[in-house]
Every structure is written in C-alpha cells, then in structure tokens.
Amino acid sequence: MGTIQPRVGEPVSDELVLVQAAKRGDVAAFEELVRRYDRNVFRIAQHITQNREDAEDVVQDAFLKAFQNLEQFQGQSKFYTWLVRIAVNEALMKLRRRRPERTVSLDEEVKTEDDSLPREVADWSPNPEQQYSQAELRDILTRTIQGLPPGFRTVFVLRDVEGLSTEETAEALDLSIPAVKSRLLRARLQLRERLSRFFQRRESGDGNK
C-alpha cells in the first residue's frame, strides 16, 4: 500500500478509527494522523504567517493541542476540520504576537454586504500561461496570495488551495456559510485584480526594454 495522500475527502470512518484509537492511548494512531495531515497544516500555517519558522511552530503547537484535547473532539465533524481550526487559531496568535500594534483577525478589511464587492475586475492581459512557466506562475500566485488581508487569505487557502468544502471552511473558521462565500468571492476578485496589475506592469516593463 502506497503513502496515504492527505485529502479532505477521505472517509470519515477511517479517520475516526484512528482518532478513537488515539483517545485510548494509541500513540501510533495519532502519529498516523500527524503523517496524514502535517503537510497540509504546514501549508495553511505558512500562508497565514508568511514565515516558515512560525509555520513549523504552528504545526507542532496545533498537533500538541489536538492531542491534549482529543477528548473534546466528539466526531461530529472530520478530525481534519477540527485540526485546521486549531491550526488557524494558533497561526493568527502568531501574527498577533508578531504585530502587537494592530489586531489581526479574520474580520480584517471584510465587508459582507453585496454592494461592497468590486464592480469591475481587469481582464487577464496578457495570457500569463503564454509567458511564464508553471513554476514561475506558482511563485507569483503564492506571493500574490500573501498580499491578501488575513481574513480573505485564510478563506481562500482553505477553500481553493487545500480543497475544503464551503461547509468545512465555515466550520473550521467558525463562520457562517454566507460569510465564507462572500469572503471567498472577494478574495478571488482581489487576487485576479492584483495578478492582472502584476502582469500588465511586467508587460509594460518588457515593452520599454
């Protein structure tokens, strides 16, 4: 049997078997949960903290807190969703400690009214796939995601990067489903607008050479 790929869509029953064993003191079962999800949690933490060392600390703290509080997990949702909620909270606390002069929260720069959504977003020009390699595009996208406000960035990463459902994202962030949908839309619009400006600047710069 090959390496288990940490996908959110894995059967809950398989996950619960491991969690129940871990609750009974089976350390190996919890270690399997760590192996299954540590890379996912690290990516999420790195997107939020934008710092590798902080992300590594978040992973360790999140799994330690999850292990210490296993009895509180009732199995009404996926363990992974519960774990992500712990990790997001730990990552946001990292940001607060790093930037005490301003409060960091999921509500930063967020308005959920429909009329607050941008009316227009620049068209893709030029077609980035024609000018950049996949590796370059990934790097550009990663840096652009980092420029989003924490509230938008976190929802975007969970929903579009890590593949959680809208319901799972709402549960992990303790938000309503409409709030997740609103923030995701605004994150996508901001991301597209930022990327469009980036590519237009690059095109203009190339043309002046």
129 in the same domain as 88: no
Euclidean distance between CA atoms 167 and 179, whole angstroms: 11
139 in the same domain as 76: no
With beta carbons less than 8 A apart as the criterion, state whether 66 and 86 touch: yes
For residue 81, which phi and psi values (nearest 5 degrees)?
A: -60, -45
Would the CA dihedral through 195, 199, 204, 208 be positive or negative?
Answer: positive
Instruction: Give the three-state DSSP class for 143.
Output: helix
Residue 4 in any domain: the answer is no
138 in the same domain as 173: yes
pLDDT attached to residue 141 = 80
With beta carbons less than 8 A apart as the criterion, state whether 180 and 114 touch: no
The structural domain count of the chain equals: 2
Q: Is pLDDT above 90 for 22?
A: yes
> Where a domain ends, among 98, 127, 147?
98
> Where a domain ends, among 71, 98, 125?
98
Euclidean distance between CA atoms 101 and 86, whole angstroms: 24
Region of poorest pLDDT, from 51-55, 57-61, 119-123, 199-203? 119-123
Contacts of 77 (CB under 8 A, 6+ apart): 168, 171
203 in the same domain as 118: yes
Euclidean distance between CA atoms 92 and 115, whole angstroms: 28
128 in the same domain as 92: no
Q: Which residue range is the domain that position 62 belongs to? A: 12-98
| Residue 44 confidence class, pLDDT cut points 50, 70, 90 | very high
143 in the same domain as 67: no
Residue 60's CB is within 10 A of a number of other CB atoms, namely 14
Mean pLDDT of 89-97: 87
83 in the same domain as 33: yes
Residue 104 in any domain: the answer is no
Q: Is pLDDT above 70 for 106?
A: no
163 in the same domain as 123: yes
Residue 185 in any domain: the answer is yes
54 in the same domain as 24: yes
120 in the same domain as 190: yes
- Give the pLDDT confidence of 128-186 residue by residue, as tens digits: 555 566 677 777 788 888 888 888 999 999 998 889 999 999 999 999 999 999 999 99
> Where a domain ends, among 65, 98, 131?
98
138 in the same domain as 174: yes
Mean pLDDT of 77-86: 92
Euclidean distance between CA atoms 71 and 138, whole angstroms: 39
- Amino acid (1-letter code) at residue 188: R
| Residue 111 confidence class, pLDDT cut points 50, 70, 90 | very low
Closest CA to 122 of 194, 37, 45, 208: 194
Residue 83 in any domain: the answer is yes
Q: How does the average pLDDT of the chain come out, rounded?
A: 79
